[in-house]
Amino acid sequence: MTFDEYQQAAARTMNASLTDDERLLDAAAGIAEEAGEVLAHVRKHLYQGKALDREKLAEELGDVLWCVAGVATSAGLSLHAIAARNGAKLSQRWPGGFMPDRPHPELEVD
């Protein structure tokens, strides 16, 4: 499934009774809410000794993705274009891949 196909599928499940601005806010707030659920699974795994439940983690990440698609759709943006733009930014920022011993390029002082 491509980003565009996913975005179209997700858009079919957005609440059509809301205004465009309400859908935008609902999806944006959902990102924070669902990201918190992702964090809860990881935190419980790392700090409470619980096994990482990859199925539940994948479900929560899917919810985050749905919300990101909802924000993009509500704002008239394409997930494909967003991903391509971010990929280009990362390639420019870290051309050889991330290197932990190298300062963040935007924080380097000339």
Question: What are the boundaries of each domain within the chain?
Answer: 3-79
**C-alpha distances out from residue 21 to 17, 28, 34, 68, 70, Å:** 12, 10, 20, 15, 11
What is the C-alpha separation between 65 and 53, in angstroms, rounded? 18
What is the mean pLDDT of the segment spanning 70-87? Answer: 96
Closest by CA position to 40, among listed 28, 52, 30, 31: 52
Asked which of 55-59, 81-85, 96-100 is least confident by mean pLDDT, the reply is 96-100
pLDDT in tens, 15-71: 999 999 999 999 999 999 999 999 999 999 999 999 999 999 999 999 999 999 999
Identify whether the C-beta of residue 31 lies closer than 8 Å to the C-beta of residue 68: yes
pTM for the whole structure: 0.86
Token digits of residue 61: 């990440």
Q: Which long-range contacts (CB under 8 A, 24 or more apart) does 51-54 make?
A: none
Considering only CA atoms, give the Rg of the chain: 17
What is the mean pLDDT of the segment spanning 79-98? Answer: 90
* Predicted local distance difference test score (pLDDT) of residue 99: 79
Domain spanning 3-79: CATH 2.40.128: no
pLDDT exceeds cutoff 70 at 110? no
Asked which of 5-9, 73-77, 96-100 is least confident by mean pLDDT, the reply is 96-100
What is the C-alpha separation between 71 and 14, in angstroms, rounded? 10
